[in-house]
Each structure stands twice: as C-alpha cells, then as structure tokens.
Amino acid sequence: MPEFRIPTVATGRLTLRPFVAADRPDYAALRADPDVVRFLPGGEALVPFANEIAESRIAAFRDAWSRGYGVWAVEETATGAFVGQAGLASMERSGEVEVLYALARPFWGRGYAREAAAAALRFGFEQVGLERIVAFVVPENAASSRVLEAVGLRATGDTDYNGFRVRGYEIAVAEWRRTAGGS
C-alpha cells in the first residue's frame, strides 16, 4: 500500500478520485477509442489497448501520486459513470508539470473537461504549491485548446514533443490568482 494519500476532489458535476483496479475495463475502453487517442502523442500505437497495459497504467497513475500530484479517474457524480482521466503529470525531460485530460466520447461537449482541468489547476496551485503549469496540444485539437484557454492558459508557441509538433500552453500561479482561479 502506498504511504501517500491520493485526494478526492469534488467539482460541480464531477468527482476526481483515485484510480482503482476496477477501472481497468473502462480505462482500457477509453484508451482504445481512436477518437480519444487521435490527438494524444503516440496514442495511435495504443489501439487496441490491452488489459495488461491498462492495469500497469493504473498502477503507475497511483504511484505517481508520491510526488503530491497526479492523474485522477473522473466520475460523473450524479450517475457514478466513469468519464475519463484528468490531472497533473510531471514531464520526464523538463520536470515541468502538465495538466492533462481525456474523456470518453459520450461525455464530450458538456464542459466536463473544462471543469476537470480547472480543478486540476486549483489543486496544483493551492494544494501542491506549483509555480507554473503547462500543457501541450497538437494544433488540430481545437477542443482541447478551447479547454486550456477557458481555464486561463495561454499559448506560448509551437514546439517538438516526442517527435510531434505541438502547441505549448502555460499559466503561472500569479496569473491564475488574477484570473479564473483567484475568484
């Protein structure tokens, strides 16, 4: 058992909670959907998404929380349905912390990604004490760019990410306090 506690965060309509082994089929289905992984760097290679990979990813999600932040399973509070994943992750090379999210298709278009991303930023800045949070989006992923801009990140220019051309985004804690998160 880990020595750290993985927090649960309630938003207006969502519950961001620790991933558990029982999420394996839902998580595997999420990551096997070509429309979900289309814009995730390297995502194509994960289709079909084997159960064993889902299991090890879920374990890795839990372990990563030893840093004090990580990726949650996102649940629709009213129904208990598995909506997807969202949270914060440490980037291997730069050590920057990125906000990320991926939702199952039936839950797109309801503002859920914005709600989850906003909660992840608030957690990172208020609970973890991060100075800055970044994100990377392939330019074709207009929905994700909208989500990032809606929660206050601004584009910093295009860059290379694991061989993919991506648009960088960032927000510093001072900007966050002044804008969306400060209210």
Ligand X SMILES: CC(C)(COP(=O)(O)OP(=O)(O)OC[C@H]1O[C@@H](n2cnc3c(N)ncnc32)[C@H](O)[C@@H]1OP(=O)(O)O)[C@@H](O)C(=O)NCCC(=O)NCCS
The residues binding ligand X (CB under 6 A) are: 36, 39-40, 101-103, 108-114, 137, 141-144, 146-147, 150
**Minimum distance from residue 86 beta carbon to ligand X (Å):** 8
Q: Which residue number, 112 or 176, has a Cβ lying nearer to ligand X?
A: 112
Written as one letter, the residue type at 6 is I
- Residue 182 sits at φ, ψ, to 5 deg, of -75, -15
**Minimum distance from residue 3 beta carbon to ligand X (Å):** 31
Cα separation, 123 vs 109, in Å, equals: 23
Comparing CA positions, the residue from 23, 167, 22, 147 lying closest to residue 85 is 23
**Minimum distance from residue 49 beta carbon to ligand X (Å):** 14
Complete edge-to-edge strand list for the sheet that includes strand 97-103? 9-10, 14-17, 71-76, 82-90, 97-103, 132-137, 164-172, 154-161
DSSP helix/strand/coil, 78: coil
Q: Which residue number, 28 or 147, has a Cβ lying nearer to ligand X?
A: 147
Cα separation, 94 vs 104, in Å, equals: 29
Q: Which residue number, 39 or 65, has a Cβ lying nearer to ligand X?
A: 39
Q: Which residue number, 24 or 110, has a Cβ lying nearer to ligand X?
A: 110
**Minimum distance from residue 57 beta carbon to ligand X (Å):** 15
| Residue located via tokens 């207006």 | 12
**Minimum distance from residue 177 beta carbon to ligand X (Å):** 22
Q: Which residue number, 58 or 137, has a Cβ lying nearer to ligand X?
A: 137
The secondary structure of 27-44 as a DSSP string is: HHHHHH-HHHHTTSTTGG
